[in-house]
Structures are given as C-alpha cells and as structure tokens.
Amino acid sequence: MRRSTSIIAAGSIALLGVAVLAGCSSSSSPAPAASASAAASNAQVLPPVMVAEDVTTATAKVGEFVVIQVTKLAGTTIATSTPELLEVSQGGSDGSAEFNPGAKTLAVGTGIITVTKPDGSSYDLTVTITE
C-alpha cells in the first residue's frame, strides 16, 4: 500500500512540475526561428583577451578585443603605431563603472600598443593578430 502511495505522490509532483513549466511560457515570446538566429549571432561574440599590466606580448584573432588590466586607471593612456591593425580605446569611467584601456584587432599582423602609466613610464605591448 505504501509503494502505490509513493508512486502516486511522485507522479503528482512530476505533473505539477510540467504544469509549472508550461505556465511559465508565454504567447508573447519570440518564435523558435527568431530565438535560434539570436543564439547564432550571440555565439559569434568572443571574450576579450585580458592582458595584465607590464605584459609585453599577446595573441588575438581578428575581431577580438585586447583589454589591458591596469592598476591605476586615472592617468594611464594608450596609443598605437599600427592603427591599420589596432583600434585603441582609452580607459575611463562613466560614473557607474570603470573601463580598462584596450584595442580592437582589425587585421592580421603584428600590432604595437604603447601603454603610458600615470608616472610617465611606458612600455610596448606587441599583439600578434591571427585569422
């Protein structure tokens, strides 16, 4: 008798779970084809290549972002002698978040980012960009 009660209880819980999941769906949700295409476009987004401060070499693929993790954001600037390969963006703050400096890779080659620290010292980061 206890076994049949356990089976009935387990079946009831399973049906309740299905009902709850079905209740979460909505007719206003996008069609499956739209969801699939959105997932496909998100799959192409690559994570940034994170580079610690004072590291002098990095490797990235075309289209990736290279982010330089600096200890002092204020006063740190970056520049490139290879703008055809690297599109640099300065670090900064928008009031709610701080952003490290970095660069987007544009083409295959060897790019150079010059990082100038707040104390005036600088170093070059050589970025090998592959396909």
Q: Which two tokens stand for residue 36?
A: 């699939």
Question: What CATH number has the domain bearing residue 84?
Answer: 2.60.40.2020
Helices and strands: H and E segment counts in the chain: 2, 10
Q: What is the pLDDT of residue 45?
A: 73
- Strand partners for 68: 51
Beta strands of the chain (E only): which ranges? 49-52, 57-61, 65-69, 77-80, 86-89, 92-93, 98-99, 102-105, 109-116, 122-130
- Per-residue pLDDT tens for 38-57? 445 556 677 999 999 999 99
Give the sign of the dihedral formed by CA 78, CA 53, CA 43, CA 23. negative
Q: What is the pTM of this model?
A: 0.66
pLDDT average, residue stretch 107-112: 98
pLDDT value of residue 127: 98
Question: Which has more confidence, 10 or 128?
Answer: 128
Lowest-confidence region among 1-5, 62-66, 124-128: 1-5
Same domain assignment for residues 88 and 35: no
Of 71, 57, 67, nearest to 117 by C-alpha is 71
Average pLDDT of the residues in 9-34 = 46
Would you state the pLDDT for residue 41? 52
For the stretch 55-97, pLDDT in tens is 999 999 999 999 999 999 999 999 999 999 999 999 999 999 9
Q: Is pLDDT above 60 for 35?
A: no
Whether residues 37 and 101 share a domain: the answer is no
Task: Using alpha carbons, select from 109, 110, 74, 105 the residue that is nearest to residue 92.
Answer: 74
97 plus 118 within the same structural domain = yes
CA distances from 23 to 11, 17, 19, 30 (A): 18, 10, 6, 16
- The whole domain housing 103 covers 49-130
Question: Which tokens hold the place of 92?
Answer: 């900064």
Residues 98, 65, single domain; the answer is yes
Q: Which comes out higher in pLDDT, residue 11 or 115?
A: 115
Query: pLDDT at position 25, please?
Result: 44
Domain count, the chain: 2
